[in-house]
Amino acid sequence: MKSRFLGTLEVSPIGMGCMGLSHGYGQIPAHDESIAAIRAAYDYGCTFFDTAEAYGPNLVPENRGHNERLLGEALADVRDRVVIATKLHLDVDEVAQDGLYGTIRAHLEASLERLCSERVELYYLHRVNRAIPVEDVAAAMGRLIDEGLIGGWGLSQVDVDTIASAHAVTPLTAVQNIYSMVERGVEERVIPYCAAHGIGVVPFSPIASGLLSGKVTSDTAFEKVDDVRQFVPQLSAENIAANRPIVELLQEVAAAKGATPAQISLAWMLRKWDNVVPIPGSKRRERILENLGAWNVELTDVEFADLERTLGALPVAGHRGFVEFDGDGMRNWNR
């Protein structure tokens, strides 16, 4: 079985982003369907599952932990054979009342209970809150590592300066940023820095919310309730049309390789970087298995070079950019 490393964590080359089973893609699947989808991914060979405390229908507080509970139930009997990553948010008022370490530990203990676990392998700060120094968060995460409650820690949607500041206090295991063929900003500094410092990179939206699969077209109608795709710039009808040459390129390469466009987009990423483990998300079992199958698609040196050269000449319409906390609240958050 193929594997990769995020820091010292050995995982399958592609993980499963579980958000869509609880939030973000419209109507969520029935409970049993979600459990079956997670188990199907595991049976296929996936050993890396990504969730967050916030993932629940409509992201309302009363639904917090819905996704973690699904994973806890689905993987209970194989818990020692998988790596689970989850994430927390920090609120300034909460930290002021309970202290930073106490707040983080309370969030972690709640997640562990939902995950039916005594420890979690990878614990992310979901978004940096500029009112809370990331160095202080790093120190608190170091305590949790020393106590054996987490195996490593990470940051999401961050730049190199933030990564470096945190890593200097407690070495990071992984950074989770947006990255795909149409969102390549992290290639310039983030991924190379992480590679040089033993930090894994976990791309979310590696298929650009379905754009690169070719299955999302200008005629696609997204659900109006709890479907973040309606707010993704690249998925506007205008930008889908403008980015069509990239999709057509993927379709051409996929046909020659006996693969799918989504698989080619993931295989390209795996071929390019040794420290990258993408986590494509879907709520459909067949799509989840298709995505995982990308680890069996290998691009030759010539195929990769041709793909890189052609991609480099194609303009990209629409970008999502960073999303951060500003003070006490999160703005423009869609993952």
The secondary structure of 282-335 as a DSSP string is -SSHHHHHHHHGGGG----HHHHHHHHHHHHTS----------EETTEE-S---
Look over the chain and give the mean of its residue pLDDT values, rounded to a whole number.
93
Q: Report yes or no on whether pTM surpasses 0.75.
A: yes
Q: What digits encode the pLDDT tens for the residues 158-181? A: 999 999 999 999 999 999 999 999
State residue 322's pLDDT score: 52
Burial tier of 115 (Cβ tally within 10 Å: 0-12, 13-18, 19+)? buried
Which residue out of 25, 42, 55, 193 is catalytically annotated?
55
Q: What digits encode the pLDDT tens for the residues 246-303? A: 999 999 999 999 999 999 999 999 999 999 999 999 999 999 999 999 999 999 999 9
Domains assigned to the chain? 4-209+272-297 (3.20.20.100)
Q: What is the mean pLDDT of residues 143-154?
A: 98
State residue 120's pLDDT score: 98
Is 55 considered catalytic here?
yes
CA separation for the pair 193, 195 (Å, rounded)? 5
Between CA 70 and CA 79, with CA 73 as vertex, the angle to 5 degrees is: 115
CA atoms within 13 A on the CB side of 1: 14
> How confident is residue 102, by pLDDT bands cut at 50, 70 and 90?
very high
